[in-house]
Amino acid sequence: MPQAPTREQRSARRHDREIIALAVPAFGALVAEPLFVMVDSAVIGHLGTPQLAGLGVAAALLTTAVSIFVFLAYATTAAVARRVGAGDLPAAIRQGMDGIWLALLLGAAVIAVVLPTAPALIDLFGASPTAAPYAVTYLRISALGIPAMLIVLAATGVLRGLQDTRTPLYVAVGGFAANAALNITLVYGAGLGIAGSAWGTVIAQCAMAAVYLAVVIRGARRHGASLRPDAAGIRACAQAGAPLLVRTLSLRAVLMIATAVAARLGDADIAAHQIVLTLWSLLSFALDAIAIAGQAIIGRYLGADDPDGARAACRRMVQWGIASGVVLGVLVVAARPLFIPLFTTDPAVHGALLPALLVVALTQPVAGVVFILDGVLMGAGDGPYLAWAMLLVLAVFAPAALLVPTFGGGLTALWWAMALMMAVRMATLWLRTRSGRWLVTGAAR
C-alpha cells in the first residue's frame, strides 16, 4: 500500500502547481516582448543598411527609456498581490489604477523630453550621417507610443498581482501578430518606409494598452473601485517605485560597463560578448518567469498575514531556481555546437566565445537563486534594500571589470567579473531572506 504524502510534500506540490500556473504564461509573455524589435528589424532590413542602422540606434534608446520604468510592473505586482491576500479586491484594483495613472504621467513626460531632443540623442549615440535621419524619424514617431508601453507595464503588474499571467500572454501574442501585420502593410503596402514601421509599433502598443485598460476597468466596475486619479495613491506608487528604479539603473550600469570593457578588448571580443550577452538575456527569461510568480505569490501570502506560507513558498521557489539553473547550464554546454554557428563562423570569435560560454553555464545555478530571491523581495515590497544591495554590487563589479584590460584575461576574465557580480548579488539577497526582515505582513507594507 503506497504511503500517504506528508504535509511537507503536500505543501510542496501545492506550491509547484502555483508556480507552474503563473510562471509558464509569464515566460511566454516575456519571450514575446523582444519579438517586437525583431520584427521591425526583419522588415526594415530589406529597405537598406542606413535604415537598419537607424533602427538600431533608435530602438536602443527606446528600449533603455522603457526598461528604466519596469518598476511600474514590479511595484504594482507586489502592492496589488498584498491586497488580494488581504481579501480586499476593490483596494487591489484601486492600487493598480494608481500605477496606471503614474504610467500615463511618466509617459507624457518622456514624450515631452524625447520629441524636441531626438536629433541630439541620436547624435549622442554616434549614428552616421546616412543613418541619423532614419533614426530621428523612427524615434520621434515611436516615442508617441511610450505612454502606451508604460501603461502595458503597469497593467501587467496589476494582472500579475491578481494572480493572472495568462491575460498578459494572450495580449503579448496578439500584439506581436498585429505589429508584424501592420509593419508589412505600412512599410511596403503603403510605402511609408521606416516611418511605417514606427507607426505600426505605435498602433500595436496602443491596442495592447487598450485591451489591458478594458480588462482593468471591467474589474474595477465589478468590484466598485474608483477609476479617477488619486494624487496620494499616485504619489505612493512613485515612492514605492523609486528604490526599484535605482536598482534597475544600477543593473543597467553593470551591463553598460561590461559592454564598454568588451569593446576595448578588440573586435572579436566585443562580437563574442554580444553573442554571450544575447544568450544570457534569453536564459534570464526562464528564470525571470519564476521570479514573476514569486512576486505574486509572496505578496499574496504576506497580505494574508501568513509569513510561514511566504517562507515555505520562498524555499520551494529557490529549489526551482537552482534546478532550472542546472538544467539551463547543461543545455548551454550541450547545445553549443548547434547554436554557435548560427551567430558566427569567425574562428577568432569562436575562440573568445567558448570559454565565456562555459562561465555562463557554470553560473546558471547562482543566477537561478539570484532571480528567485530578487522576485521574492520585490513581492515583499523590500525595494529600499534591493536598491542599496544593487549599488553595493555595482561598486564591487565596476573596478573588477575595468581592471580586465589592464591585467589581461580577455573576455573570459570579463565574464568571471560578471560571475563575481552574480555571486555578490546572491550573498546580499540570501542574507536578507535569511534575516526574515522582509516578512512584513498586512495589506500594505
Q: What is the pLDDT of residues 138-174, one digit of tens each?
A: 999 999 999 999 999 999 999 999 999 999 999 988 9
The pLDDT, as a whole number, for residue 339 is: 72
The pLDDT, as a whole number, for residue 27 is: 82
Q: Which of 85-89, 150-154, 231-235, 440-444 has the lowest mean pLDDT?
A: 440-444
C-beta of residue 128 within 8 angstroms of C-beta of residue 135 = no
The pLDDT, as a whole number, for residue 83 is: 94
Q: What is the pLDDT of residues 14-35, one digit of tens each?
A: 888 888 888 888 887 787 766 6
End-to-end distance of the chain based on CA atoms, in angstroms?
48
C-beta of residue 84 within 8 angstroms of C-beta of residue 306 = no
pLDDT over threshold 80, residue 306: yes
pLDDT over threshold 70, residue 413: yes
Q: What is the pLDDT of residues 336-381, one digit of tens each?
A: 887 777 666 778 777 888 899 999 999 999 999 999 999 999 999 9
The pLDDT, as a whole number, for residue 102 is: 95
| pLDDT average, residue stretch 213-239 | 91
Phi and psi at 382, nearest 5°, equal: -90, 45
pLDDT over threshold 80, residue 37: no
pTM of the model: 0.88
The pLDDT, as a whole number, for residue 343 is: 67
DSSP string, 221-286: HHHT---S--HHHHHHHHHHHHHHHHHHHHHHHHHHHHHHHHHHH-HHHHHHHHHHHHHHHHHHHH
| pLDDT average, residue stretch 164-186 | 92
| pLDDT average, residue stretch 264-269 | 80
User: In percent, how much of the chain has pLDDT > 70?
Assistant: 96
The pLDDT, as a whole number, for residue 104 is: 95
Q: What is the pLDDT of residues 109-134, one digit of tens each?
A: 999 999 999 999 888 777 778 888 99
Q: Which of 4-8, 147-151, 199-203, 335-339 has the lowest mean pLDDT?
A: 4-8
In terms of pLDDT, which residue wins out, 84 or 262? Answer: 84
Please give the grid coordinates belonging to residue 380: 515583499
pLDDT over threshold 60, residue 69: yes
The pLDDT, as a whole number, for residue 279 is: 83
